[in-house]
Structure 1
């Protein structure tokens, strides 16, 4: 695996670290391809029961690498923004459809597509020095990586439009207040805290987490009747798992359940 992305496994948790600290972990084609491959591998690997994404150094991810982007513009490529369909859209689909929890550990700045990646994760743990910036308008672009869908669902239409149109940074404490992040920890502690949370979830009912992700994702774009139908199907599937039977048995016998993830 390329050194632009570091991969570490521990107790069912796979840690993916964007590793371009000198460039604030901005996303080159190399890094995007490495991250997409690693996410797909994590989704398919049954030994991985939770995933943490973070960045090396002082930033989570500054978004698209503009130096590479300018070089592509100057090269006369027909559409240098094909990367949206080739890389960013598959990245977001892989994170949201992965049948296990994905946690963003946001240390420092998350901007542009980097912030969008964090919004697509199931949970966000941020350090006190984190900040979120929708920088697209500053470079004459609109938005990508699912931000038009994820951000309004996290903080509401009005606040999302403010971030996108004005491109003003939102600090960590404000991000917690408005629901953009789930946990706020001290500076330098985001990755450790996210790994601890992921470790807890890695011992949980992975199959149920997958069904929860499936139903919430479906309900975000469907009416009540459709959501009820998806819930019913998912609940039938969950009810047939070993984890459900183990949880019920543990409850009745007043013991702690041991979840296998199946």
Structure 2
């Protein structure tokens, strides 16, 4: 793995194919400032091409996942500097949506504590989100005279049932990890004491699968707005993606999963296909 030291607001660590990026401003509840946005852009770009990173985990230091944008450093301090404001906006959007949402390897958000406002975008952009039961989620923008800005309102509208989304947008009330899973913002919730183990087990399960297939599955779902496509367009897109994957696997010497299944070498309903060609 390339050297990833020297960041001020994040910590990057890789072990056994799993890279953990930890938002590291615990005294500010890991609120996102322009420096964090800039460093996350750099880290995600480098990790996307890092062969030692098979799975990416994103979490927060201390008792918070992320408290949203740093109101002082992201909004107030640069409000009169048009260039700095535009750069911060660009970096903020780039890493939380373009780079994280389209990251070429599986991503897991481990929501360990407070998760407010702009942090919803981080959770939504990860493929899998595991929340601690004790985590606290909230859209408090209404309480200080704003709407959930950036991509947050769209994210909430895409993931949550409309009545639930509007309820939390309009009231600013908080909710816990179990509710976050029930309304579709996260994948599941577990006790905080089990969060690290659960995420580790998920990462190990993903690592065992063919990386070319994992990437193709992500691209098939995320590469275009599959939900908005017609049946005919979806069929064309998915057929082309399947054909592309088979070519890539053949070039890489991957085992043909269907062939191995017919030889009774494995059970695809219960295990990933063998890595080496039979």
Q: How many residues align?
A: 258
Q: Does 1:111 align with 2:121?
A: no
- How far apart are residue 144 of structure 1 and its match? 4.0
Match for residue 91 of structure 2 among 84, 87, 91: 87
Long gaps (5+) in structure 2: 1-5
Q: Partners in 2 of 1:244 and 1:235 — Cα distance?
A: 15
Gaps of 5+ in 1: none
1:191 paired residue number? 196
Q: In structure 2, do the counterparts of structure 1 residues 201 and 230 end up closer, same or farther at CA, with 3 Å as the change threshold?
A: same
Q: 1:1-262 alignment to 2 at 5 Å?
A: 1-68=6-73, 69-73=75-79, 76-78=80-82, 82=86, 85-91=89-95, 92-217=97-222, 218=224, 219-240=226-247, 241=249, 242=252, 245-251=255-261, 252-255=263-266, 257-259=273-275
Q: Is the 8 A contact 1:11 1:202 kept in 2?
A: no
User: Separation in 1 of the partners of 2:115 and 2:246?
Assistant: 39
> How far off its partner does 1:216 sit?
1.6
How much does 1:225 deviate?
Answer: 2.4
- Give me the whole-angstrom Cα distance separating, in 2, the residues matched to 1:145 and 1:211: 28
C-alpha displacement of 1:201: 0.5
Matched-pair contact (CA < 8 Å) for 1:99–1:207: no
Deviation at 1:89, TM superposition (A): 1.6
SS at match of 1:110: strand
2:3 is aligned to none
Q: TM-score, normalised by structure 1?
A: 0.88
Flag the 1:141–1:211 CA change in 2: closer, same or farther, 3 A: farther
**Relative to structure 1, is the Cα distance of residues 99 and 160 closer, same or farther in structure 2, using a 3 angstrom cutoff?**
same
Tell me which of the two structures has the higher relative contact order, counting C-alpha pairs closer than 8 angstroms and 6 or more residues apart.
1
Q: Secondary structure at the match of 1:105?
A: strand
Over 6 Å off, 4+ runs: none
Per mean C-alpha deviation after superposition, the further-off stretch among 54-63 and 32-41 is: 32-41
For the Cα contact (< 8 Å) 2:38–2:88, is it kept in 1?
no
Report Cα offsets for 1:47-103 as digits up to 9, x if no partner. Answer: 211100000000000011112132223xx3348753564122211111111111111
Whether contact under 8 Å (2:181, 2:187) holds in the other structure is yes
TM-score (norm 2): 0.83
Cα distance in 2 for residues equivalent to 1:228 and 1:149: 26
Displacement after TM superposition at 1:119 (Å): 1.3
Which of 1 and 2 has greater Rg?
2
C-alpha separation between the residues in 2 aligned to 1:103 and 1:89?
Answer: 19
